Amino acid sequence: MLGFPPRSASLARGTPIASEICLAAEAGRRPPDWLLAALDALPRRLADGSRIAGTVERECVVRLGRAEPGATKILFTVA
């Protein structure tokens, strides 16, 4: 079935996609159609994720720069 991947599939992280490809190769079968259809969008989705991560990082740096002197500065990592 072409179209949407199952809810458990994460195109942004890529891990379920890589796992499905490995499982299919080990079993000697073709990867699921949803996965093959998703591969075309993967580079764009990864680039979008990198762009968003850069925006978040820049905003954190800007906000840390605005903190009052002596204030505790905590930087959270977005995973």
Name which of 33, 29, 42, 32 is nearest 2 in CA terms: 33
pTM above 0.85, yes or no: no
> Ramachandran region of residue 14, left (φ > 0), alpha (ψ -120 to 50) or beta?
left
Q: What is the pLDDT of residue 4?
A: 45
| pLDDT reading at 52 higher than 90 | yes
Q: What is the pLDDT of residue 74?
A: 60
Judge whether 13 and 38 are in contact, CB under 8 Å: no
CA atoms within 13 A on the CB side of 60: 12
Judge whether 50 and 58 are in contact, CB under 8 Å: no
| pLDDT reading at 41 higher than 80 | yes
Q: What is the pLDDT of residue 45?
A: 86
